[in-house]
Amino acid sequence: MDVRDVRRTTDDSFAGAIRLALGALFLMTGVMKLAVPMLAEAFSGQLVASGIPMVGLAKWIVPIVEIGAGLAMMAGAFTRVVALIIIGIMAVASYVHLVVDDPAMFPLQPHEPVVPVVVSLMAVYLLWRGGGSGSVDLRDVPAID
């Protein structure tokens, strides 16, 4: 397997729409965790309350990775690799939702892990189908039928 196999996709408009939605979501959440004090504080609180190690590092690294994942998704570059990263982030987010008992720590979403589960399912679809319509992957690598 080479890098072209990982990037190969179909001209799937549904995959393209999911990719753009995930890209926008991750770009916005990453920026908000860095730029909106209330959300940065809630995120730090989630990390502490769930026992995630190295909170001081995680509160900076996670939003930066989210911004990078969002930009890559919006472009449709290495969509399957980014989908795996998103699934990993959402696995941790699901854990946080399950162990943190304070609903105030989730100001923009339900306390239950609804958002992480839905986002994970969307990422699994992209893992299966690739970046779809409008992606850099489709432009750079011959499409599969």
Each residue's pLDDT tens digit, 94-112: 999 999 988 888 887 777 8
Which helix (H) or strand (E) element contains residue 119? helix 114-129
Percent of the chain with pLDDT over 70: 95
Q: Model pTM greater than 0.85? A: yes
Q: Which of the residue ranges 6-10, 58-62, 112-116 would you say has the lowest mean pLDDT?
A: 6-10
**Mean pLDDT throughout 124-128?**
95
The sign of the CA dihedral 118, 69, 18, 79 is negative
Tell me the pLDDT of the chain averaged across its residues: 90
Q: Give the pLDDT confidence score for residue 106 in this predicted structure.
A: 85
Which tokens hold the place of 49?
A: 């309350």
CA 122 to centroid of chain Cα atoms: 10
Query: Which stretches does DSSP call E strand in the chain?
Result: none
**Mean pLDDT throughout 60-83?**
96
51 and 92 Cβ atoms separated by less than 8 Å = no
Q: Is the pLDDT of residue 27 over 90?
A: yes
